[in-house]
Structure 1
Amino acid sequence: MSDRPSDEDSSGSSISDAEWAKFVQDSAREIPASAPKEPSARARMVAERLRQEEARGATPQGWRTVADLQRTHERASRGKRRLWVFLGLPVVIALAAVAMRPSLLPGDPFGTGGPGAAVSASPLPAETAAPTAAPGAADAATPTIEHPFAGSPALRWADGAAGIVLPKATRVGSLSKAQVEQALQQTGKLLIDANLDPATLRGGRPETALSVIEPRQKELLDRLDTSLSKPDEKHDPLLMFSRFDPAELRLVGDVVKTRGRTTFEAGESGVVVVHADYTFVYPVMRVEKDAPTEVVRTIVRRVLDVELHDPDKYVVSPGKITVKRFDQEIGNSACDVYDGYMHPRFETAHSPTPTGAPATGPTKDPYDRSRDIAGDTDEGCGVVSRT
């Protein structure tokens, strides 16, 4: 049988060549792309007739042959591939660059780039025993206003009073659990007010610290009072309190890093002895209008022994603590300057801070909490190995 139908079907209706070509074209759209594309004999004949009409300039406007449609589809496919290569190659290059240097992305979304990466460092657990060695070297970084603890082991230390973790109180001899807890709390108040209170750090009078000390320690209290009002070599408030001259320096941010531990044990009958050993790290910068925005750190370690006596056995003020020992080690502060303030050294040439006497003592790591600082005061003012 011939593929070409007669000009009239069995019902007598007539189908024009144009209508038949449209039918073939519409049917082709419904065939999956994977189906064979071989046109029927009728389609080949219609296509040939249309090509001949096109050669004579008689092809209806808007019509395309099967070959034309195929070529259009191939051109569109090639165009998409070219677009993907054009867009894909720069994207691949950019992704490779970011993989090698994530800090190129704004905001450091992966938390790995620049000095700000240090901010995400996990905090250390509370110190429960004396360290056996100095902390390892931190990543080399320069402290800035945004990241004042960059390049310091203190980056992972607790913030301020959160680093003063008091042990759980227990009964000691004739002292109840509540009395031992009181001794611990009073020691904590002294440490916080003397080393962390913003007013004290700006040179203010540490009233809370003074108020927890046994009033019968009159000689000590008089000495501290004189050191705060008229500091000199024999009356140095830095022996007990951390202070900066507000006309010269200001703290960078509102965080002082703290690390240490508090322990207690039974003393003489009716006495509990509290031992505190803490290091505080202070980032500071100059306040002069035209001073460089350089950030430096001063590190202060304080060792404190206090006692609380059973008021039923001793003539004492109930709830007050007796200070038996207070040693300190100050890193990065001018030697032999007795104006009552710490004066850290700045690297920039513009430095109006007192320089003091040359350092004569040994070089020490101010972050090394494994050393006992008892008796170190005889070694003179030394040099710090890092800040």
Structure 2
Amino acid sequence: MKMRSIELIVSILSATTVAAWTHTSEDEFRRGISGHNHALAAFIEPSTAPSQALESEWIAATETEKSILMSIDCASAASLCREFGVISYPAIRFFDGHGKMTPYRGPRRASSMLSFVKRAARPSVTILNNEKIQAFQSSDDYVVVAQISPQDAHIKAAYNTLASQYQDQLSFGSAETASATTVSCFNNRDSQQFTVSDLTTIDALPNLIESCLTPVVGEFTRANEMKYLQSGKSLVFYLAPSPADRDVYVDAMRSVAKMYKEYLEFVTVDTDEYGDLAAPLGLAPGRFPALSVQNPMFGQVFPYPRQKKVTAELVGGFLMDIVQGKVQPWEGTVGADEGGSPHDEL
């Protein structure tokens, strides 16, 4: 399959402009979360980079579900944000109209947030029959289907508890079976399936969920940076300020990431939040998008040549050249990956 370059696709996506935040007043917010209304609220602080990064995705989401999405400017409504326990920004919460509030912990993407709204508005576990299972398992990015024997009431109870905890990230379904109990999780975003039938240990179900939710190409954040750095694997960093750019990269690189997942972790980096990561990776600050490979165990960095297009084939070849010793580690001069670099022959 012929790959188009990341740069071309991003240039098309970047041509689209969006409007600015339209914030909800305190009175409008209180009316919006009462009276049996469903509402998704983003509590933001306009001066913070993460809140600024959310803006375009939130506005895109409002074009589909304008009636139930609200944003609150915590710089001007600080007491309201404190009342709802907001301590970092942005904080996204679902209100069910009956006083229950559910935090959203998933990707800050319009499609992901809208999927969360649908999940939060229905029961934590959807009861299925054999005819409905196949359609249900492809109904969301992440879907868990349990086929539970009537003899395993304790597993059913544990499954229902887990569904309540993770309803903001996955859709859960359950069907009765005359066979042995099995639980499967479908990561439809990365076309992966995980199944467990040995449910004798307490960690079996949580481990299944963790494996299923782990993306083939992840996002490097403050919350998970130590997990990635301590994974024992080399890291392939893709740095870009545009969410659209990073999404296109993920789609293009998924096949390569699957091929090398035993040895490498592929991650995207939001340069609005992690711009200072460029220099330690041998990249020129402010020159994005850019890619670099880091081996934390040996302290080695391999910047990807700027003059090369970022495609699955070329990045895969670059990784193979590193393995074969054809690319030397960066020696500490920022920008050495540009014109006249020792990588030009690759």
Q: Does TM-score exceed 0.5, indicating one fold? A: no
Which of the two has greater strand per residue? 2
Normalising by the residue count of structure 1, what TM-score does the alignment of the two structures yield? Answer: 0.24
Normalising by the residue count of structure 2, what TM-score does the alignment of the two structures yield? Answer: 0.26
Over alpha carbons, which structure has the higher Rg? 1
